[in-house]
Structure 1
Amino acid sequence: MKLSKKILATAIASVLLVGCSMPGSNLSIDDKHVAKTNVDAQKQLSDRVNVFPLTVNNISEFKAPKISAQVNKKLEKELSNYEYHIGAGDILNITIWDHPELTIPAGSYRSASESGSWVHADGTIFYPYIGKVPVAGKTVSQVRSDIAQRLAAYIEKPQVDVSVAAFRSQKAYITGDVKTPSQQHITNVPLTLLDAINNAGGINADADWRHVTLTRNGKDETLSLYALMQRGDLKQNRLLHNDDIVHVPSNDAQKVFVFGEVNKPQLLKIGRVGMSLTEALSSVGGINELQADATGVFVIRANKNPDAKKDAPVANIYQLNIKDATALVIGTEFNLQSYDIVYVTTAPIARWNRVINQLLPTISSVNQLSETGLNLREW
């Protein structure tokens, strides 16, 4: 009898030890300082998460806006009215017809830029007879009119021609994942965003062409080269100004995480044309048919709005039920965003089987001890 009690006690202790010896790493906070928080001011996490089931009836609400070809009337107007404005550092070529003594000609040893009039830092040039002429901020037609008017006091009906021999005062900067990051001069030929990208040799294979940033006067604007170049949305094009910065980021940040009961959990990069939920599941070999709960395919998307209120939702969760495989068609209409988390839950029976598998060694040990006790008692 005493031996049976010892065996029973050993079995109970073994079962209890199973809960303390689960495999995997662990981090205990029992012996650590835990910072105090204002519990009353904080809501439970579940209260700050929105869950949206994805169905045939509501999938259109979550689809990305359709990109279509569009004209850009604003850009067309800017291009038709475009005139270059002279700045400090530019070199002007000024010709007074029938008065060669006032014109320094370019020759085999002197280029037009070397023989021209340099615009000084104060925005002026010096010209014979009339002295300093303010030119910065003016167009060539305005400078031509000003010089002709002032020379009229010395020359009868002067015929003046003004052109820019060298454009050096204004630049736009093309940075990031392009073939040749560079600075490009603003000239009398309008420079658009698309022109600048082409002049830089185009984008690299790993460029994120959906999130190109145009920085002007300290303000950022996000533009899509994908929409511009692949869909013909000309509204994504811009006329570049002095000191504009165009940055094409790498697609390193365009990634999603696929966890849970899938065949190959891994990190996936979103391709140039985007990635749907169904594509992500396909890329990891689909769900684990023996372990996964097909009703629980979730996409967890953090709230990235920096202006959100303190009690705003921290994340939105989108649930897709693929128990009927035809629901994967809905997944093709749901586009993933960077840093989305795709999580496939475990079926309840699979969770129960895992517990049983952990208990089996202990149960076997108890059975062996029981049989040994019976044999000893019989002996």
Structure 2
Amino acid sequence: MQRPIRFLASLLIITVVSACALPRGAAIQGEVVRNQNNEDAAFSVVPITGENVSQLATWPATGWEGHYHWFSRNPGPKSNIIRPGDQIDLVIWDNQENSLLTGVEQQNVALEGITVSPDGSIFVPYIDDVHVSGSTPDAARRQIEEELSMVVPDPQVQLAISSGPDNSVDAVGGFSAPGTYPVPNRNYSILSLISAAGGVSPSLENPLVRVIRDGQSYGIRAGDLFKRPSANVILRGGDQIIAEEDDRYFVALGATGSETIVPFTKERINAIEALALVDGINDTRANPKGVLILRDYSADDLQSDGSGPAKTQVVFAIDLTSADALFAARKFNINPGDLVLATESTVTSIRTVFGLIGSVVGVGNALDNN
């Protein structure tokens, strides 16, 4: 009888001593922030509350610029503007019997494929160079008629334009039919170009549309571009349009519904939305008071007056049992590269210990019955 009791007692002692070393799927909050109060700690811990969330929103963005830069729409007239490199076809009508331009029994002469020179002019017989760059086709036609009237009575001019490189845009990549497309008028919008290029490639996940103009890059998520009429900007000759995947992501680990790399499904994702994207936290394992967001800042971001991070490594803590913290978390945005960590509840380890004790007691009873 004494031997089974001693055996049971030994197992109990071993189980209790080993409780802290039990395998877990995530760290306990205290383990992560254990050295936060040390002066030489490499990180700081900042609880997210209604009192400080507005200030936290002003801290430097990490992992990206903080928002996508887009421009406002500027329609302008419907007619195109002539630019250097465009091809112009002229048909000049002259009803005079002894015309300087037309031959015998001819009433018109066609001048085709005239290239607008780099200085913006074209050569027209008898009136020399005519500056047409920056003019609409109709304005250029009237100008040529006016100057021809000095040598040809009552001339009539027809003018047609074929867009050159400065009056075309490039659908560079990410479209079903990439290529160079002429700009037919000054109201040619980016949605018109995307339609002409066969639409954004369906193989792209979370597509982003970029416009490269004058050395500057402008970007917008494709979904936002399609939803917002004001985002349908007017293109200019020389624009380059690219569709690509939004490569921003954050990482979810610990006692979350799923441990994975999570792509951004919209321009901004707040902390509550981030948890929803990974199916929340594990009901039986997670500590609802210990959801942590780990973020790296650069040394240039540091501020000693509280207007920014005090250390390059910051742990933001969320207490999901507090209404104040929940409302604040809805205003706290996740940055690309953040680590969202749901810590393990200490109750989980205690339950495991009790389960082991129950197993040990069962073994002891079995021994005792023998």
- Hey, what's the Cα distance between the residues in 2 that align with 1:167 and 1:198? 19
Length, aligned pairs only: 297
Report the equivalent of 1:343. Answer: 341
Aligned counterpart, 2:46: 51
Post-superposition Cα deviations, 1:42-85, rounded to whole Å, max 9, x if no partner, equal 98533xx5724145x7778889xxxxxxxx9x735x42376412
Retained in 2: the 8 A contact 1:257–1:266?
yes
Cα contact 1:90–1:169 (8 A) shared by 2 = no
* Alignment partners' CA distance in 1, 2:229 and 2:224: 5
**Cα RMSD (Å) of the superposition?**
4.5
Q: Please list the CA deviations of residues 71-121 of structure 1 after superposition, one character each: whole Å capped at 9, or x if unmatched.
A: x9x735x4237641232242333333536827345xxxxxxxx94434356
Letter in 2 for 1:194: L
Residue matched to 2:212: 215
Structure-1 residue corresponding to 2:243:
248
Aligned counterparts, 1:4-23, within 5 A = none
TM normalised by structure 2 equals 0.62
Structure-2 change in CA distance of 1:51 and 1:118 (3 Å): same
Distance, in Å, in 1 between the alignment partners of 2:52 and 2:229 is: 27
Aligned to 1:258: 252
**Cα distance change on mapping 1:208 and 1:353 into 2, 3 Å:** same
Instruction: Say yes or no: does 1:92 pair with 2:89.
Output: yes
In the alignment, structure 1 residue 188 sits paired with structure 2 residue 185: yes
Match of 1:319 in 2: 317
Q: Give the Å deviation of 1:192.
A: 1.7
Q: What whole-Å deviation, never above 9, does each CA across 1:143-198 have from its counterpart, x for those lacking one?
A: 3243223322321232333231x222322222343333322222335222222222
Counterpart of 1:103?
108
Question: Residues 96 and 75 (structure 1 numbering): CA distance in 2 closer, same or farther, change over 3 Å?
Answer: farther
Query: Aligned residue for 2:265?
Result: 271
What is the identity percentage for the equivalent residue pairs of Structure 1 and Structure 2? Answer: 21
Distance 1:325 1:52 in 2: 14
1:158 equivalent in structure 2:
155
- 1:290 deviates by 4.2
Kindly indicate whether structure 1 or structure 2 has the higher relative contact order, using CA contacts under 8 Å at least 6 residues apart: 2
Which residue of structure 2 aligns with residue 293 of structure 1? 287
What is the CA–CA distance in structure 2 between the aligned matches of 1:60 and 1:90, rounded to whole Å? 56
Change (3 A) 1:281 1:148: closer
Structure number having the greater helix percentage: 1
Indicate if the aligned counterparts of 2:48 and 2:328 stay in contact, CA closer than 8 A. Answer: no
Distance 2:267 2:73 in 1: 26
Q: Is the 8 A contact 1:54 1:319 kept in 2?
A: no
C-alpha separation in 2, matches of 1:302 and 1:204? 34
Q: Does residue 1:128 correspond to 2:125, yes or no? A: yes
State the TM-score, normalized to the length of structure 1: 0.61
